[in-house]
């Protein structure tokens, strides 16, 4: 954890980078086959997610609950096959992920 003096000397970019540093975010151990997820619980096959719970096969999401096959979603509940908080359906989701080279 940085001191008050160190924080006050940091640039905007440094502050934003530090916001996601291991000093401030704990990695959870109760996730299965996840990578680079922080403060998540009961998630499976997710990557680069933050503060999510009970999610499956999601990536780059934050503060989501009970979602599956989501990409770049935030603050959503019970979403499936969604991109940026819009449910697009299985076929469109899989096509877009393939197009983006994800999954």
State yes or no: pLDDT of 25 exceeds 70: no
Contact 45, 37 (CB under 8 A): no
β-pair type (86-87, 80-83): antiparallel
Query: Mean pLDDT across the stretch 87-93?
Result: 91
Instruction: Produce one character per residue of 89-103: b if its CB has 16 or more CB atoms within 10 Å, e if not.
Output: eeeebeeebeeeeee
Q: What pTM value is reported for the model?
A: 0.69
Instruction: Produce one character per residue of 63-84: b if its CB has 16 or more CB atoms within 10 Å, e if not.
Output: bbbebbbbbebeebeebbbbbe
State yes or no: pLDDT of 47 exceeds 80: yes
Task: Please report which confidence band the pLDDT of residue 56 belongs to, taking 50, 70 and 90 as the band edges.
Answer: very high
Domain residue spans of the chain: 28-100
Q: Considering only residues 99 and 8, tell me which one the structure prediction assigns the higher pLDDT.
A: 99
């Amino acid at each position: 954890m940085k001191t008050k003096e160190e924080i006050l000397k940091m640039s905007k970019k440094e502050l934003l980078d530090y916001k996601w540093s291991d000093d401030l975010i704990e990695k959870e151990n109760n996730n299965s086959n996840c990578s680079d997820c922080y403060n998540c619980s009961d998630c499976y096959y997710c990557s680069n997610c933050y503060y999510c719970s009970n999610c499956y096969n999601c990536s780059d999401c934050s503060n989501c609950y009970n979602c599956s096959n989501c990409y770049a979603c935030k603050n959503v509940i019970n979403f499936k096959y969604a991109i940026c908080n819009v449910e697009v359906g299985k076929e469109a989701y899989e096509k877009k992920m393939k197009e983006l080279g994800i999954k």
